[in-house]
Every structure is written in structure tokens, then in C-alpha cells.
Structure 1
């Protein structure tokens, strides 16, 4: 499956002396600079009828540019019928409530059965998009809202909005330890120096900022609302572990069960059997990449996290009720 894209434009006076690839990025902002450069190198762009394959070619006012590109379908991945919880969908975007256990993109050890495979089945035209329209990810065991592009234009604008921090992503989490107040973690994140499947706070990493506030305190745990400024791999998990409040269930980053003293068998069992990080992408807000309309969605906290919170709440209330201060 291929998609044909054709656009024409005329060089303006203010673009005199600019490089060819710079002019294209200005004339056709619906496409990324890297994609436009690929089209130039592939001989799919012409000036005054002559194909130009040099991105640094200088241009002059009045020159006629024609973009006549073919987007090849990405056939490396198989379309698979996997049920999706679609919160919203139109011609340009989809918002999905991702369940725990669903990997977003095929990779080593997971060649299929992913969100990408599901998108190719639900929307076959996604084969013409990079990563089938996926613009950001959630970890396998993290639940909640993701936005997916259904067109090249929408994908370009969504990626730009993410980079400009114009998309709001809020999360709910349950962490070990009692946090006294909210705050932020502003620490660079990169690959762990010795554990290659882990991320870590490292000086050579990329900037990452996580805001958090305390929504509820329990005896030995806290329920948080968090907001990302950046979107690094495992960001919330790494930042919370860094400040010594790892997510409940996140064994990779130190979130082993830490029940409060005298906890009920029910709570002990629930904490022991919680096998994923207690993290849910609860809110997503963005300006629609085509219409500009401000849109917002919320996804209910999944039942496993609700159950843990209820048991921790019950535990805290029972201890408070049993405590009788001396007269």
C-alpha cells in the first residue's frame, strides 16, 4: 500500500538565499524536516521542473517547487486483530486507553502482539506512517491514555507539540513511603551504566522534569498525581525511585512490597500479588493537530490500583480508630 502526496509552491522574496531543505520546511510545515530531506534525496522534489537532490541547494524568488512524493507502506510488521479501548477517534487522531500488559511497539523478544500491530489492523493506512502513527509510549505494564496520529500531518504536529511541551499528560501512582508535600524532580535520565535494560539518573542523560503532588497519604504509602514536562523512557519510575519513593509493584526500580506493621492478610496479599508498577496515565489534554481545538480526556483508574488504594485507606482508618491517646 502506498500513499501519493503532491504539493506545489513558489519561492517568496524573504526566502532568497535560504537552503532548499529550509525552504521546504517553511513551505510545507505539515511534514517533518527529516521526512522532507528524505524526499529531496529520493528525487521526489523539483524546482522549475528539474529534480533537485541536494538539500543545501540555494533558491531564488519566483522559483516553482513541486513536491511529488510516494510514501511506502511499512510492511515489516503484521496487522493483527487485537481489541483496543478507543476513547476518541476522528479522521486525524485516536486516543486509546492502553491496558496493562500491552507492549506499544515490537522489539527484541516481542515481534508482534503489540499496539502497533493492532493499529495496522484497525487503520490499514497507518502502514504509511512512521511507527503506525505512534508519537509517544507507555511502558508495557503502565495503563492509560495515549494519542495516536492517523495522518502524516497530524503526526508531524503532535510530535512538535510534544517537543514544545504543549501536550499535558497527567498520571496517578501509588508509591512506597509517606510523602509530606508535592514538588518536582529535575534530573537527567539516561541508560544505566551497568544494567542495560534499566534507565537511571545520570549526568550524561537527557533533561527530564516530573511534577508531583500528594493526593492521599496512608500509613506507609502515598497516592500521587504527576505531570510530565518531558517524556523520557521510564521517567516517572526512575524519578520516584531516585527520591526514594519507588512505585508499588515496580520491582525493576525497587518497588518491592513494604506493608505497614500489623497489616491485614488481605492487604499483605494484595501488595505481594501486585505484579506491575502502580502507574496510570489518567489525563491527556492537547490542541487538535488539525483544527486547533483544545481537547481533554480522562481514563478511570484501573480496578487493581483502586483495590490497592482502598485497602491502604482501610488500613490507615483502622489504625487511627484503634489508637486511643491517654487522657
Structure 2
């Protein structure tokens, strides 16, 4: 077997309750840590044996007591270079790792960012994570968004986390500072798709995918609002697009908010802080999930980064000096 492949050996006996069920159905019951698509892929690749005989028919009906074996060869999934990059690790066991991502860290290599990414860091820090698709990365944060991410260290963990994301049982809450003073919270339920003219941007579009963002007001200021947001879906740039759509773009988001707008009578200190905040004011503050193996319900929280804390302090001081008009 080539050095860049790994061997998977599994076996189980067909239970009486599985009598006359299809092979693909039985595999899903016997090996729930693997996705149905992966199990079907192994059947069609001649990796599945029933009582010692190769079977490549997913719809084959089985009898109780038959021995199911999977002898699969799986290619190493990631070929990027491991790099020693500091990560803020909130939690880690043999199955998952929770990271508090700092601003400026790209999650996955791409055009213009071939290295120096979270993926490169994971390859250096987590043994054998190259055997998991995308080095275990199941969701992303934008380069300049800070906060919590979960990464799978094994294929079974990855399968579970992806299912939680797809079923929307994984809870993700964010904090953001947006332009304008909002009176109350609400919901933005608008589909998001690729922008028709800007290749790197997203937009609200009837042809896009369903996207729902809940938001509530944490604090009101004279020209800004501090929000807590919760996602039902996880589209690219979802919060940034939705807040811009309702005319309250994120502070610092030049892609969806245009040029920074300074409030009248702002102090020099406040102006310097705003101009020096070179990213969108968005932080993934809370992450809730079911542990893929123990099934324990887990919730993690990450405090606001220092630059966001300083920005809020300046906004509060500006409102204190100039008053608030809602």
C-alpha cells in the first residue's frame, strides 16, 4: 500500500433485527460513525465482504448472523505543508479540537493564501489529521472574523459534526458592532448566493440558498448598535450580507459596508480607533454542539478580542459625551 494511503478494517455481525434489510442500510446501522455516502462508496469499490465474499451491490438483502467486513484503502486527504503556527486552543481531546481563531488567520489555503493558514497549523499540531477530509475543518470563519471553531480529528467525528451542521443542531452565536442605532432585534430571512458582478462577494439573491439570521440588541449607542446574533444556516459571509441588506453593515466591513462613516463631533481618539480598526467587527462568541463520541452536550465561549473591547469602549465614551438619539 502506498505511504500516503491508510487502511480501514471493520467487522460486525448482522443482527436478527436486520434480517432482510439491504446491505447499505445494515452498514449505516452497524457503522454509524461513517456517512452513508462513504459506506456506499466502499461497497461500489469492492471493499465490503459478506461471509468472506466481496459484495458490490448496495441493495443486496442480508440474513441475520452474516459477517460483514470492510477492508478499505483510503487516500490521505490533505497534501499541504505543516507549519508551526500558534493557535488558541479552548478544548481538545482525541476526537475534536475547539479553537479561538485570531484575526488575520485564513482558515483554508486558497488563491493568495497558499500557506500560513489554520489548515497548515492543524497539520503540524494534530497527528494523522491529514487522513480526515480538509484536515477536519467542517465550517469556516472569514479571515478577519475572530472566535470559536470546531475541528474534527477523526473521520467519525467529522461525520457527526457535518451532520450537526446540516441538521442545524449545532449552535453558533456571534457578537457584532453595526452602523446605525437599531430600536429592536429581529430576523433576516433572505437567501444568499454569489454576487452577479463581484466574484468574491455574496449577496441576497432569489436564486441563492436559504439563510436565516436572528439578532438582538445588546447595547445602543448614538451611531452604532452592539448585537448578539444566532445563525440557523451557515452561508458564506451570511451575517455581513444580511446586516448590510437591512442597512446596518458591520463596522469595519469595507466589502459590504463601503467607506467608513464617522459620526459628527467624534473625538480625535474615537476617530483614530475607528480608522485603525481594519476588519469587520464580528466575533464568534459561543459554540454549542454534541460531542461526536460521548454524546455530551457541550458549550464553549470566547471573550471579545482586545481590539473589539477597545472599540466598544470608545463607542461608549462617544455616546456618553454626545448623548444618544433613538
- Counterpart CA distance in 1 for 2:31 and 2:162 is 15
Aligned-residue offset at 1:92? 0.7
- Inter-CA distance 16–58: structure 2 relative to 1 (3 Å threshold): farther
What SS does structure 1 have at the residue aligned with 2:28? Answer: helix
**Contact 1:170/1:284 (8 A) holds in 2:** yes
Aligned-residue offset at 1:194? 1.5
Unaligned residue ranges in structure 1 (runs of 5+): none
Aligned-residue offset at 1:132? 0.6
Count of aligned pairs: 321
- Counterpart CA distance in 2 for 1:36 and 1:271 is 52
- Counterpart CA distance in 1 for 2:256 and 2:94 is 39
Tell me, yes or no, if structure 1 residue 60 matches structure 2 residue 62.
yes
Unaligned residue ranges in structure 2 (runs of 5+): none
Tell me, yes or no, if structure 1 residue 90 matches structure 2 residue 93.
yes
TM-score (norm 2): 0.93
CA-to-aligned-CA distance 1:179-199 (integer Å, 9 cap, x gap): 100011111111111211111
Aligned-residue offset at 1:145? 0.4
- Counterpart CA distance in 2 for 1:142 and 1:19 is 46
Aligned CA RMSD, in angstroms, stands at 1.8
CA-to-aligned-CA distance 1:8-65 (integer Å, 9 cap, x gap): 233456556654333322321101122222222322111222212343x322223432
**Contact 1:104/1:116 (8 A) holds in 2:** yes
Tell me, yes or no, if structure 1 residue 313 matches structure 2 residue 297.
no
Aligned-residue offset at 1:5? 2.4
Aligned-residue offset at 1:264? 0.7
CA-to-aligned-CA distance 1:196-235 (integer Å, 9 cap, x gap): 1111111111111111001111111111011111111111
Tell me, yes or no, if structure 1 residue 149 matches structure 2 residue 148.
no
Partner of 2:42: 39
Tell me, yes or no, if structure 1 residue 69 matches structure 2 residue 72.
yes
- Counterpart CA distance in 2 for 1:296 and 1:268 is 37
- Counterpart CA distance in 1 for 2:22 and 2:141 is 38
Tell me, yes or no, if structure 1 residue 171 matches structure 2 residue 142.
no
Q: Which moved more, 1:21-30 or 1:244-253?
A: 21-30
Partner of 1:270: 273
TM-score (norm 1): 0.93
Among 209, 213, 234, the residue aligned to 2:212: 209
- Counterpart CA distance in 1 for 2:223 and 2:119 is 38
